[in-house]
Amino acid sequence: EHNRGVGSKLIEEIKSIAKKHNCDNIILDVWSFNDNAINFYKNKGFEESDNDESTNKRLSSKGLTY
C-alpha cells in the first residue's frame, strides 16, 4: 500500500538520527528502474550522485537541512 505516509515518517526519523550523530549526508542506492522511489526521495531533498553503470541509482542528501 502506498501513500500512507510511512515512508515520509521513516525518512524524517532517519534525518533526525543523522542529526543527533552530526551526520550531514545520507546515501541511498535505489534500483534505476524504480522511478516511483527515485521521485519520492528527490521530493524529500535527495539528489542523484556518483551513479555507476550498475542497475542502481545513488541518491545523496549532501548538506542535510533539518
Q: CB within 8 A of 51, min separation 6: which ones?
A: 32, 57, 58
pLDDT one-digit tens code per residue, 6-27 = 999 999 999 899 889 988 888 8
Please report, as a single letter, which amino acid is at residue 59.
Answer: L
Supply the pLDDT for residue 57. Answer: 77
Span 51-56, mean pLDDT? 65
pLDDT one-digit tens code per residue, 36-45 = 999 999 999 8
Whether the CB-CB separation of 46 and 14 falls below 8 Å is answered with: no
